[in-house]
């Protein structure tokens, strides 16, 4: 048994497939499969149930997965402090839900930190973001909290030994194409949306409603486009009367034909920065946080 095999197990369990795990870790799928099979033979039990659609943990595999996460967190914490410090200082990674501000904040951060030669921005699902930070792959995670998801997310953060800081408050906004019938309204309510199609980001664990990036409840019989990236979501909005929900940020430099309209009601959302409870922010993380805060301070809705 070795650390590499533990990383493979955790990545496969988190992503649900060998293919996605191998892409995340930049390892060939056959090599990963062989390494996991060797580990299963060494342990004397099967970690994963393999099907045509993906993988799932066996009962014994679930117990092993929990222990593997703990070992990896401890190892990576030790490694970050004592192993190849010059190389780690040149690398920085954040994980985030799908936000338009990621690009301008990244550019500002890079200009202010020329010593960082490898800056990773992992834009993914809520579940993957929390796992990324818990496992030490990203120093910071960016998600939102509101009255609907707060208790569930906070419980998960506590379970993963993570903590958070609220950095911005925003009401819910509706994203529409520029010439949409609702685009000129000063605000939008539930009745305006009932007969419209919807675009949303898919999540790894749909059974946990607090993982969703939807800020408005879905109406019965609503047709839903499920997308995994912002480019596809924006492309659908530009071509249809569908709508999406979000915090109201939009990057005019990259999105030309989409507008945002505030939603009626008390829909307070908190944008939060997530980090590991036991870690002190590195200089790079503190600088990124400042770039994000400056962007928020100067953004005009």
Instruction: Write down the pTM of the prediction.
Output: 0.70
- What is the rounded distance in angstroms from the CA atom of residue 128 to the CA atom of residue 134? 10
**Residue 221 maps to a domain:** yes
Number of independent structural domains in the chain: 2
**Residue 159 maps to a domain:** no
Q: What is the pLDDT of residue 86?
A: 46
Q: What is the CATH number of the domain that holds 214?
A: 3.40.190.290
Q: What is the pLDDT of residue 205?
A: 60
**Residue 12 maps to a domain:** yes
Q: What is the CATH number of the domain that holds 63?
A: 1.10.10.10
**Residue 275 maps to a domain:** no
Q: Domain containing 54: what range?
A: 1-81
Q: What is the pLDDT of residue 265?
A: 77
**Residue 240 maps to a domain:** yes
**Residue 249 maps to a domain:** yes
Q: What is the pLDDT of residue 81?
A: 61
Q: What is the pLDDT of residue 180?
A: 97
**Residue 150 maps to a domain:** no
10-residue mean pLDDT series, the chain (301 residues): 90 87 84 91 92 86 90 76 57 93 95 92 91 90 91 90 93 95 94 93 70 78 90 94 93 86 85 92 94 90 68
**Residue 281 maps to a domain:** no
């Amino acid at each position: 048994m070795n650390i590499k095999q533990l990383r493979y197990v955790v990545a496969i369990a988190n992503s649900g497939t060998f293919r996605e795990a191998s892409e995340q870790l930049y390892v060939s799928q056959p090599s990963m499969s062989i390494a996991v099979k060797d580990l299963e033979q060494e342990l004397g039990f099967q970690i994963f149930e393999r099907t045509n659609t993906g993988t799932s943990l066996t009962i014994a595999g679930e117990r092993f997965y929990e222990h593997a996460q703990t070992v990896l967190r401890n190892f990576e914490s030790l490694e970050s402090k004592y192993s190849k410090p010059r190389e780690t200082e040149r690398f920085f990674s954040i994980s985030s839900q799908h936000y338009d501000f990621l690009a301008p904040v990244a550019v500002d951060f890079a200009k202010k930190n020329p010593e960082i030669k490898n800056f990773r921005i992992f834009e993914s699902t809520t579940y993957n973001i929390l796992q990324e930070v818990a496992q030490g792959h990203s120093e910071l995670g960016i998600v939102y909290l509101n009255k609907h998801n707060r208790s569930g997310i906070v419980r998960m953060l506590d379970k993963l030994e993570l903590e958070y800081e609220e950095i911005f408050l925003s009401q819910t906004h509706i994203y529409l194409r520029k010439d949409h019938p609702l685009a000129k309204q000063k605000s939008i309510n539930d009745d305006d949306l009932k007969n419209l199609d919807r675009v949303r980001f898919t999540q790894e664990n749909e059974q946990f409603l607090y993982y969703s990036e939807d800020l408005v409840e879905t109406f019965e019989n609503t047709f839903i486009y499920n997308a995994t990236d912002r480019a596809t979501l924006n492309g659908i909005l530009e071509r249809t009367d569908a709508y999406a929900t979000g915090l109201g940020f939009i990057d005019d430099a990259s999105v030309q034909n989409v507008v945002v309209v505030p939603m009626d009601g008390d829909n307070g959302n908190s944008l939060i920065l997530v980090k590991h409870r036991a870690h002190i922010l590195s200089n790079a993380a503190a600088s990124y946080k400042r770039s994000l805060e400056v962007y928020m301070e100067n953004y005009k809705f």
